[in-house]
Amino acid sequence: MRNGLNITGVSETVHELREHPEEAIADFAVAASARTDDHGVFRARAQTLRAGTIRVARDFRLKQRSFTVEGAGGPTPHGSDADGIPTPYESALAALGACVLMTKVNGYTARGVTLGALRVTVRADLALDADGKPAAGAALSRLAWHCALDGDTSTDTVTSINRLVTAFSPNHRVFLDASPITVGARVERGDGTTVDISVPWTPAAAEAAAVCPVEADVVWENGSEAVYRTALTVNGVRRQSAPLIADQPKQLVGIDKGPNSQEILLSALCGELAALLEEEASADGTELHDPVLRADGRIDTRGMLNVHREISSSFHNLAIRLTARSDAPEAQLRGLLSRALSRAVLPATLLAERAITVTVAHGDAPQLTYDSTVEDAEGIRDEVTRRQREAAAS
């Protein structure tokens, strides 16, 4: 046991995954009514985790706050100190930071390093339009994370672990890689029939009139548990969330104290889309009864442990599905979803490859700084594969 984790069975796990690949799959999901309340709050709930051949109950509620509310002073951010609820953009950065942090804890534990403290701070710029709202379909820019580490280890080990994190941390890869989201809807008609609707979409990529700095600060507690706070700044005013917990399921070396980083990201995707669907439906008069959004994504442990080089190490197979009752024409419903998605920032951010600026501070050593790219991450995986094959042949 080190750093609150027991990972002594990793080699046995790798062997088991080769013999029983179905056990490597972990399918995460969140779902909720696709409506925000009178305060602009969207409430999602983690769904049953499918971890290999078992089903794991997940009973966590995740809240997202719409970005703006029209008040006497114009648009102002939600997520104030008073209510403590983050916006989807803050939660998405928290999901990235929590996953990077957990991957690092696993890496240092495997190397026999006892950690004193570990913190990951993620920052990005959110583009705003002339009305102070998120610019339609404009991806988050200047995405970066900084890690501060206290532990008795060498600079070479810190550098090595950090390189591996940029190749194998699932949420780092989902932001780094091109990660398209499949979107669809199932609509029940008044006569009891149902129709399935596929939804093509392209980000609107509107021009920015201003930017809003967004931040998530994730601090390691012990084992797989972390506490995060988020913040955003508009017109020089910084608003910070309440502290929130991220953890892992017991089946993934956690203790189930909170939702994990994949569930936080899925909730952020749903929360942003719910608010946009409400706006678009209100604007064109489309009636949606009992709308529910569900978001899904997958981790394959064979990719995370490089058991098979060809399997993705990213959080992948992302999908969002709307279910509702409506007698609106199919074309109208498809247009509604397409317009909402074209305005969404987070799907646009995940859609294309991007570089992530990474910095690491460790004691008195010079700060490590570089841009993480898909090319670099794939090169690291190739290097790990080569070493694994050499070790197996010796």
In this model, does residue 83 exceed pLDDT 60?
yes
Lowest mean pLDDT among 30-44, 150-164, 191-205: 30-44
Separation of alpha carbons 114 and 20, rounded Å = 32
Nearest residue to 205 (alpha-carbon basis) of 268, 141, 284: 141
Separation of alpha carbons 171 and 260, rounded Å = 11
Residue 184: band (very low, low, confident or very high) from pLDDT cuts 50, 70, 90:
very high
Q: What is the pLDDT of residue 1?
A: 77
Separation of alpha carbons 26 and 314, rounded Å = 12
What mean pLDDT do residues 5-11 have? 64
Separation of alpha carbons 238 and 195, rounded Å = 45
CB atoms within 10 A of CB 274: 26
Residue 132's SS3 state is coil
Question: CATH classification of 10-393 is 3.30.300.20, yes or no?
Answer: yes
| Percentage of the chain exceeding pLDDT 90 | 76
Nearest residue to 322 (alpha-carbon basis) of 173, 224, 199: 199
Domain edges within the chain: 10-393
Nearest residue to 182 (alpha-carbon basis) of 335, 321, 26, 384: 321
Give ∠ CA 123-128-130 in degrees, rounded to 5. 160
pLDDT tens track for 270-322: 999 999 999 999 999 999 999 999 999 999 999 999 998 999 999 999 999 99
Residue 8: band (very low, low, confident or very high) from pLDDT cuts 50, 70, 90:
low
- CA dihedral sign, ordered 283, 284, 285, 290: negative
In this model, does residue 74 exceed pLDDT 70?
no
Separation of alpha carbons 373 and 174, rounded Å = 12
Q: What is the pLDDT of residue 21?
A: 82
Q: What is the pLDDT of residue 392?
A: 86
Separation of alpha carbons 182 and 207, rounded Å = 25
Q: What is the pLDDT of residue 256?
A: 84
Separation of alpha carbons 212 and 222, rounded Å = 32
Check if the beta carbon of residue 98 is closer than 8 Å to that of residue 92: no
Nearest residue to 4 (alpha-carbon basis) of 132, 156, 109, 84: 109
Separation of alpha carbons 31 and 45, rounded Å = 6
pLDDT tens track for 52-67: 888 988 889 999 998 8
What mean pLDDT do residues 175-203 have? 95
pLDDT tens track for 325-355: 999 999 999 999 999 999 999 999 999 999 9
* Mean pLDDT value across the chain: 90
In this model, does residue 111 exceed pLDDT 80?
yes
Decide the pairing of beta strands 210-222 and 41-46.
unpaired
Single-letter amino acid code for the residue at 186: R
Q: What is the pLDDT of residue 349?
A: 98
Q: What is the pLDDT of residue 15?
A: 60
Q: What is the pLDDT of residue 82?
A: 38
pLDDT tens track for 207-258: 999 999 999 999 999 999 999 999 998 888 889 999 999 998 877 777 889 9
Phi and psi at residue 201, to the nearest 5°: -155, 155
In this model, does residue 69 exceed pLDDT 60?
no
Single-letter amino acid code for the residue at 106: N
Q: What is the pLDDT of residue 19?
A: 79
Residue 9: band (very low, low, confident or very high) from pLDDT cuts 50, 70, 90:
low
Q: Give the DSSP letter string of 81-110.
A: TTT-PPPHHHHHHHHHHHHHHHHHHHHHHH
